[in-house]
Amino acid sequence: MLGQWFPWLVSSEALHYGYAIVMLAALFLLRPGFAGRARTWWTVALAIQFWHHIEHLLLLIQAQAGQPFFGQAVPTSIAQLAFARVELHLFYNSVVFIPMLIAMYYHLRPNAREQAAVTCSCGGQKRGAARPRVAASAA
């Protein structure tokens, strides 16, 4: 969307790196809210996004320095040595998003053990709902 108002951003490696670092920070900051299987899948997404961030950092360094690595004519990431850039970008975004979806599914449908570990009301049970109500004493 930013590219519609600022077309030069589309080819800006700084924008792509900014997105990668914001996504990495969000995955890291939200991780404590997940438990059990959801946390495992969220951590998978975090690890993949960390590598995605490293790839964009390499591209940003090359773009800022004006010196491509690996003997290439343009800034090139490590995985880009084997795969085309557009397809690689689609792959990275998909392979981060899919474990996030799985994590959210498990977060919203925790098993009994995971339910005890969650601290939010996302899992279908409101906090404190399992506690029995104390009946008011009749006078």
Q: What is the pLDDT of residues 14-63, one digit of tens each?
A: 888 999 999 999 999 999 999 999 999 999 999 999 999 999 999 999 99
**Has residue 136 been placed in a domain?**
no
**Pairwise pLDDT comparison (137 vs 87), residue with the higher score:** 87
> By residue range, what is the domain housing residue 47?
11-117
**Has residue 39 been placed in a domain?**
yes
Exposure string over 49-73, b if 16+ CB within 10 A, otherwise e: beebbebbebbbebbeeeeeeeeee
| Cβ-contact 106, 114 below 8 angstroms | yes
User: pLDDT-derived band of residue 132, with 50, 70 and 90 as boundaries?
Assistant: very low
**Has residue 137 been placed in a domain?**
no
Mean residue pLDDT across the chain: 86
- Rounded CA-CA distance 29/18 in Å is 16
Per-residue model confidence (pLDDT) at position 7: 74
Over residues 60-74, mean pLDDT: 92
- pTM of the full structure: 0.79
Contacts of 120 (CB under 8 A, 6+ apart): 33, 127
- Rounded CA-CA distance 113/80 in Å is 42
Q: 117 pLDDT exceeds 50? A: yes
- The total number of structural domains that make up the chain: 1
**Has residue 53 been placed in a domain?**
yes
**Has residue 94 been placed in a domain?**
yes
pLDDT one-digit tens code per residue, 16-26: 899 999 999 99
Q: 126 pLDDT exceeds 80? A: no
Q: 118 pLDDT exceeds 70? A: yes
With tokens 């601290």, the residue in question is: 119
Angle made by CA atoms 71, 60, 18, in degrees to the nearest 5: 155
